[in-house]
Structure 1
Amino acid sequence: MTYILDGIKVIELASYGAAPAVATILSDFGADVIKIEAPTGDDRHLSDGNGETEYYRLLNSRNKKGICLDLSKAAGKDVLHQLVRSSDVLLTNFLDREMEQFELEYETLRKTNPKLIYAHVSGYGRKGPDRDQRGFDMVGWWARTGILAAMRFLRGETAPPATGVGDHVTALALSSAVMMALYHREKTGEGNFVSTSLVASGCYANGVALQRAIAGYDCDAALGKATRIGSSLSNLYRTRDDESVVLIITNLKKEWSSLVKALGHKEWLKDPEFVDITDWHAYTPDLESRISSAIREYNLKDLCWRLNEYGLAYSAVERAGDVVCDAHLIENGVLVRTNSELPDYRWTVSNPIDIEGFEKRQPAEGPAIGEHSEQILKDFGFSDNNIRDLIVAGVIVQSR
């Protein structure tokens, strides 16, 4: 089978979420990804203390080869330089000072590999006073960008964010940058340095709210008073069986008739109070109460059937356990089978990109620490004697 990124060699020198997720997207489309880890493994191999499966690793290490390399040794740095010299893409989330320590700055590497695409992700960008601050999904993407503050209105306090959301949004941004750089290289023969940050990705994701703030709108004050998602018709409602559903109405004049019929209250169409329903602002308290009460008359299954029957935009508020059993998502390739026999990894979440005429690889388990160390070095032209010396010196580790 032919994949769109067949022949592209990627070096992943990164830990945690965003940069490894970029490599996962590229590997899904056929790129040959080499994951470099220290002898202790990257931070996502560490136990969470509860003895649970390393779910982050299962998701973001698929279809990669692994080499265990000690970069604290000069020979380890030399090996890495040789790998990068023959590769197309280097993905990293190391801080600039760390890249200088290992002599892996872009200007250094481009001298021996002018076609290299150097892709870098940071917490807060490469300029300014926070450039060297460590950044993670929850602080750089959620908290610093205003997104987390905007989540507090439903409960009156800040809700804990879902793990890895910002990492994966940032990964989509950087993967698009890598593809644009590869396109530029195809035209010019030149490599490039591309980058993004958790905070830049988060601000872009929260761009509508930030644009309102730029225009002088007091978003914080509005959130403090908010009791609904949007208008009284675009809101989160509770059903008779105490489930939640989000209903969105964008054109009241057009959708009012469908809404009242879906809710089983056609008499509202003749109610003189709503004769000019396009001016819904005048009726907000009563509308909100009526719609909420009407929705409370139905259980979730029946309500969803009725809303769907009348072509209204809605969704049940799904739990993760419901999402992974969603037949519609399976049919659309959002959830895919792996080739693994691990009970926790027989299914996984695909990346959200589809390209007509090109398949994605079936996900395979990610590598154990150092699982492919010897084979990788052989593929890059290292001799058996050279590899043996590196193992004896503790520069590389081959898992058994």
Structure 2
Amino acid sequence: MVKIGLGWRWNVAGIMQGVRILEVATWVAAPSAGAVMADWGAEVIKVENPEGGDAIRGFTSIEGFQGGDIWWQLLNRGKKSIALNLSTEEGQAVLHRLAAASDVLLTNLQIGLLDRFRLDYQTLHEVNPRLVYGLLTGYGYDGPDRHLPGYDYSAYWARSGIMEHVSEPGRPPRPARPGIGDNSTSMVIAAGLSAALFHRERTGEGQEVHFSLYHSAVWAIGMDVQAALSFGAEIPHTNPDRARNPLWNAYKTSDDLWFQMVMLQSDRFWPRFCEAIESPALQDDPRFDSHANREQHSEALVAIIKEVVATRPREEWEQRFKDFNLVGGRVQRVIETVSDPQALANGFFTETDRGDGSALPLVSSPVKFKQNPTSVQGPAPELGQNTEEVLMDVGAYEWEELERLKEQGVIPW
């Protein structure tokens, strides 16, 4: 590992070194996948509209929280940026020339724009038969809603049933956290493109790979969906006051924090649990001496556990669960997560140099290759920062050709 600026970078080849990815994508999910693969060592070339670039560049505030460029940096670190006017035939020709020298093209443009900009799979397959083509849509490539724009709040969180199922009955639906569906889907994209590249290495054949926010969410909530699919019924909403398994529930501690118990096999843990809460009489109480009986009298048992848990702070309950080999964990705030010793010990966070000598802290991508460790390759690029470099090195353009493209309004001056 070597020190580069204010960040550390492993001086071994990334697992995807030598893979070139053209990212014609905006906002969060697809760019997040590009960021992950850049961490893995791929060369990711982000293709942006010269007029403002990716919309996430201007997304600086969430719920009044002023974040500046932190979300742009999170999703686009380690990439190159070219500014290219794809509304022109000349711009489309430039992209085709770059695609001919690339391994992957990843896009989330709406289907109508793909046809208009000649970015459909068939066109690019003719340009480069070995190209892996990844397309992310909101709701899927086929069907009545194929043309709809989709963000994770609508296509992932709301449409899938997650939003309704994590909300309290009779209350307004619970909103999602920013990017929770997008960043989850990004790992699906990275996995799918990696599998397609593996297939290409064995067969020499390119591949068209489709992803959607909607399907990714249905997979995420798959246990609920499988119940509905198999039996035409839904798993009931969880009521914490009447949890069917009181040992699989969250309880408030004496310091006004929360502790989540997760003991699905409650008979296995029941004797030790009674010891841990210093209530040995409960163990043989006929209301609670089996899983079935605890389920039948769950409301009474939840009330008892609530009262007991409220006598100690969260930290003490964590320690007691460790001492008695029980399963549970603290309910943390995000501000606690960023200083959590367990997260720090496992490299959940990293930093790089912004390019001006100041440190840029970042969430690291969640796959750890032990022989080829991942690392952030640098900060996110300025709009069009690498246009001339990429067109000359990858597209084999001469300087005179670049001048002509500038005159035609294809790339900026």
Q: Please report the TM-score for the alignment, with normalisation by the length of structure 1.
A: 0.93
CA displacement, residues 272-305 of structure 1 (integer Å, 9 cap, x when unaligned): 5544566322321221111111100111111111
Deviation at 1:354, TM superposition (A): 2.0
Deviation at 1:230, TM superposition (A): 5.4
**Structure 1 residue corresponding to 2:95, chosen from 44, 66, 80:** 80
Q: Comparing 2-11 with 44-53, which one deviates more in the overlay?
A: 44-53
Distance 2:170 2:68 in 1: 31
Given that residues 99 and 127 in structure 2 are in contact (C-alpha distance below 8 angstroms), is that contact kept between their aligned partners in structure 1? no
Amino acid at match of 1:308: K
**Structure 2 residue corresponding to 1:334, chosen from 336, 340, 348:** 348
Amino acid at match of 1:306: R
Partner SS for 1:134: coil
Distance 1:345 1:216 in 2: 54
1:189 and 1:274, CA in 2 relative to 1: closer, same or farther beyond 3 A? closer
Q: Comparing 275-284 with 7-16, which one deviates more in the overlay?
A: 275-284
Distance 1:262 1:343 in 2: 51
Q: How does 1:1-400 map to 2 (within 5 A)?
A: 1-39=12-50, 40-48=52-60, 52-153=67-168, 156-216=171-231, 218-219=233-234, 222-223=236-237, 227=241, 231-269=245-283, 271=285, 273-276=287-290, 279-340=293-354, 346-380=360-394, 381-397=396-412
1:327 and 1:341, CA in 2 relative to 1: closer, same or farther beyond 3 A? farther
Amino acid at match of 1:294: V
Given that residues 338 and 362 in structure 1 are in contact (C-alpha distance below 8 angstroms), is that contact kept between their aligned partners in structure 2? yes
1:311 and 1:345, CA in 2 relative to 1: closer, same or farther beyond 3 A? farther
Given that residues 242 and 302 in structure 2 are in contact (C-alpha distance below 8 angstroms), is that contact kept between their aligned partners in structure 1? no
Partner SS for 1:194: strand
Q: Comparing 177-186 with 336-345, which one deviates more in the overlay?
A: 336-345
Deviation at 1:44, TM superposition (A): 0.3
Amino acid at match of 2:365: N
Distance 1:130 1:156 in 2: 28
Q: Comparing 42-51 with 331-340, which one deviates more in the overlay?
A: 42-51
Partner SS for 2:297: helix
Distance 1:67 1:388 in 2: 15
Given that residues 154 and 228 in structure 1 are in contact (C-alpha distance below 8 angstroms), is that contact kept between their aligned partners in structure 2? no
Partner SS for 1:245: strand
Partner SS for 1:10: strand
Amino acid at match of 1:96: I
Given that residues 149 and 158 in structure 1 are in contact (C-alpha distance below 8 angstroms), is that contact kept between their aligned partners in structure 2? yes
Distance 2:412 2:346 in 1: 40
Distance 2:241 2:168 in 1: 7
Distance 1:230 1:138 in 2: 30
1:79 and 1:273, CA in 2 relative to 1: closer, same or farther beyond 3 A? closer
Given that residues 18 and 170 in structure 1 are in contact (C-alpha distance below 8 angstroms), is that contact kept between their aligned partners in structure 2? yes
Given that residues 252 and 278 in structure 1 are in contact (C-alpha distance below 8 angstroms), is that contact kept between their aligned partners in structure 2? no
Deviation at 1:121, TM superposition (A): 0.4
Given that residues 241 and 299 in structure 2 are in contact (C-alpha distance below 8 angstroms), is that contact kept between their aligned partners in structure 1? no
Task: Report how many aligned residue pairs link the two structures.
Answer: 397
Amino acid at match of 2:21: V
Deviation at 1:181, TM superposition (A): 0.8
Given that residues 228 and 236 in structure 1 are in contact (C-alpha distance below 8 angstroms), is that contact kept between their aligned partners in structure 2? no
Root mean square deviation of aligned Cα: 2.2
Q: Comparing 10-19 with 303-312, which one deviates more in the overlay?
A: 303-312
1:300 and 1:98, CA in 2 relative to 1: closer, same or farther beyond 3 A? same
Q: Please report the TM-score for the alignment, with normalisation by the length of structure 2.
A: 0.90
